[in-house]
Amino acid sequence: MPEYTGSPRAAGRRFAVVASRFNEPITSKLLDGALDALRRHGVDADRIDTAWVPGAFELPIAVRRMLATERYDAIVAVGAVVRGETPHFDYVAAEASRGLAQASIDFDRPVGFGLLTCDTMDQAEARAGGEHGNKGWDAAIAALEMADLLDRVESDET
């Protein structure tokens, strides 16, 4: 029985990172983490595109448009939604998450999920290069592994 496992191999692949400008002190660190992970795993800088969107709610449409070009093997989405005093957080976090998952399914391409949904800015800082690591890095590694896994399944390479 075949068993498939992806590895963070970048050979010949092209990626994009879509970053939210809202909460930019956090999202710029997530972007840096994602770019660092991609480069350290062999993605040439000229095979990585970066796009900025106004906020987390806009991540899905940018990701969808980029996936529709068929230029990318995977996309990494990074952003930060921090809970406030109104239910706005719930709507933005849920819809951005749903939209990113749906884009991945609709276009049959991995979307690395680097969208923080935190109660406080301290929690966001801890996940953007602080004590809990860098979730932008983690999302890029997931995108690399999934791109490789899908290629292995398609080619039936074990």
Q: What is the DSSP string of 95-128?
A: HHHHHHHHHHHHHT--EEEEEEEESSHHHHHHHE
Pairwise CA distance, residues 145 & 47, whole Å = 17
pTM: 0.95
Which SS3 state, helix, strand or coil, does residue 157 take?
coil
Residue 41 is a catalytic residue: no
Pairwise CA distance, residues 158 & 96, whole Å = 34
pLDDT at residue number 158: 47
Per-residue pLDDT reduced to its tens digit, 73-95: 999 999 999 998 888 999 999 99
User: Tell me, which fold does domain 15-24+38-124+138-149 have in CATH?
Assistant: Rossmann fold (3.40.50)
Domain range summary for the chain, segments of one domain joined by +? 15-24+38-124+138-149
Residue in 40, 65, 71, 88 annotated catalytic? 88
114: exposed, middle or buried (C-beta count within 10 Å: 0-12, 13-18, 19+)? buried
Per-residue pLDDT reduced to its tens digit, 16-33: 999 999 999 999 999 999
Which residues in the chain show pLDDT less than 70?
Answer: 157-158
